[in-house]
Amino acid sequence: MKQVARRTFIKQTGIVFGGLLINPSIRSLANTTMTGNNQYDVIIIGGSYAGLAAAMALGRALRKVLVIDNGNPCNKQTPYSHNFLTRDGVPPTEIAMIAREQVGRYPTVQFLHQLATGAKQTENGFAVQVSSEEIFNARKLVFASGVKDIMPAVPGFSESWGISVLHCPYCHGYEVKHKKTGIYANGDNAFELAMLISNWTHDLTVYTNGPSAFSDEQTEILKKYKLPVVETEIRSFEQQNGYVRNILFVDGAQSPVDAIYARLPFEQHCSIPESLGCELTEEGYIKINPAQKTTVAGVFACGDNVTRMRTVANAVSLGTTTGMMVNKELIEEDF
Ligand SMILES: Cc1cc2nc3c(=O)[nH]c(=O)nc-3n(C[C@H](O)[C@H](O)[C@H](O)COP(=O)(O)OP(=O)(O)OC[C@H]3O[C@@H](n4cnc5c(N)ncnc54)[C@H](O)[C@@H]3O)c2cc1C
């Protein structure tokens, strides 16, 4: 959406999702006190791409749904999102904004702009508490709560995350193709990432930020492909508005660079699934079966919190599937 169209859209709808917003005409509970009717078929915690896709499927299935979201998606710093059909190259907030407007058309779906702080099992399902301390009940819970990337304490890194320090070449690789590119990682992660990124650029250097942890075989392969490895400790990334220009090292040296790829450790954005007893995989994702069910009956999960295939398209796909699976379970219980 172009700037003018975007401004008109915001003016008409009041929606600025991800930053905050909330159109009073959409059934938002943000400023209301819920005293009586706080029973839902489904509560979705996380109202970004996965959660909104689940909400759309459930709203279209006539389910009473509450979407609780505190507006903190993982890609909020990225200026443009790529590789999602019909929305290639638009700001990620815009995708969420349109999605939210469309989901908001289903009268049984409500939104609550708050943090879900806890949940427990009840006789008929689950009770979810939010930061205002209100409690909402539902028969089923969906966690579309995403993951939180853990940034290294290198000055300039977090400022550039999603702008010129990138997590995925399928999302951003085309825009920095053939550019001077760094890999900020070590060992197997660095090797795997270097191999992958060599598809987009040959001007590639691996920065291990300390002694390299490659196997002998990996070192041989990197040498064969003339991929330099720099082990010097990094002091900071010199950047302007998130665009990294130089890597500065503790010994005073520096390397010019246009883009950097990093594979960061992560944690679940929301700890409620674990507190309910949902098991995690060894990698740290919520364990699910092919129907998106977690290891706790009645609790489903979708989006980045269940998979390393981290794209908007995949989050939407998993969210839609989850909405259908939750509805199927409700039908089977009632029919
Ligand atoms: C920097 C970056 C750039 C990216 N660029 C692209 C790209 O160009 N193209 C692409 O396809 N993909 C891109 N991705 C991947 C894409 O953003 C994710 O796959 C997608 O956002 C996952 O959607 P999600 O709904 O699972 O999680 P998220 O979008 O992370 O949303 C999770 C939501 O849950 C909410 N939440 C969590 N816990 C609670 C709680 N307790 N209470 C209330 N709300 C809660 C959060 O506030 C957030 O709104 C990028 C990712 C990153 C990190």
CB 23 within 8 A of CB 119: no
Q: Is 5 exposed, middle or buried (0-12, 13-18, 19+ CB in 10 A)?
A: exposed
Count of domains forming the chain: 2
User: How far does the centroid of ligand 1 lie from the alpha carbon of residue 310, in Å?
Assistant: 9
Contact, 274 vs 296, CB < 8 A?
Answer: no
Which residue's C-alpha comes closest to atom 10 of ligand 1?
A: 311
Q: How far apart are CA 286 and CA 273, in angstroms?
A: 8
Cα of 311 vs centre of ligand 1, distance in Å, is 9
Report the SS3 class of residue 215.
Answer: coil
Residue 113 and residue 14 share a domain: yes
Residue type, 113: H
Of 100, 126, 78, nearest in space to 20 by CA: 100
Among 262, 279, 310, the domain boundary falls at: 262
CA dist 299 and 296 (Å) reads 6
Q: 20 and 138 share a domain?
A: yes
pLDDT at res. 19? 30
What letter would DSSP give residue 175? Answer: G
Same domain, yes or no: 139 and 21: yes
Does the CB atom of residue 104 touch ligand 1 within 6 A?
no
Q: What is the CA(171)–ligand 1 centre distance, in A? A: 13
Domain at 175, CATH number? 3.50.50.60
312: helix, coil or strand? helix
pLDDT digits (tens, 9 = 90+) for 258-316: 999 999 999 999 999 999 999 999 999 999 999 999 999 999 999 999 999 999 999 99
Statement to judge: residues 38 and 64 lie in one domain: yes
Q: Is 136 in the pocket of ligand 1 (CB under 6 A)?
A: no
In a structure prediction context, what are the per-residue pLDDT tens digits for the chain, which is 335 residues long?
Answer: 444 444 443 333 333 333 333 333 334 443 333 334 699 999 999 999 999 999 999 999 999 999 999 999 999 999 999 999 999 999 999 999 999 999 999 999 999 999 999 999 999 999 999 999 999 999 999 999 999 999 999 999 999 999 999 999 999 999 999 999 999 999 999 999 999 999 999 999 999 999 999 999 999 999 999 999 999 999 999 999 999 999 999 999 999 999 999 999 999 999 999 999 999 999 999 999 999 999 999 999 999 999 999 999 999 999 999 999 999 999 999 99
Residue type, 252: G
Same domain (yes/no): 130, 270: yes
Tell me, yes or no, whether 242 and 316 share the same domain: no
Q: Are residues 16 and 144 in the same domain?
A: yes
Pocket test of ligand 1: the residue of 52, 145, 158, 320 to mutate, having most ligand atoms within 8 Å of its CB, is: 145
As given in the structure block, the two tokens for residue 125 are: 């399902």
What is the pLDDT, as a whole number, of residue 162? 96
3-state helix, strand, coil in the chain (%, to 5): 30, 25, 45
Structural domain boundaries, residue 312? 3-149+265-334
Q: Say if ligand 1 is within 6 A of residue 113 CB.
A: no
Name the closest-CA residue to atom 15, ligand 1: 311
270/136 same-domain check: yes
CA distances to 161, 188, 215, 259 from 149, in Å: 10, 19, 27, 18
Question: Does 93 share its domain with 77?
Answer: yes
Can you give the pLDDT at residue 116?
A: 98
Length of the chain in terms of residues written: 335
Atom in ligand 1 nearest the alpha carbon of residue 310: 19
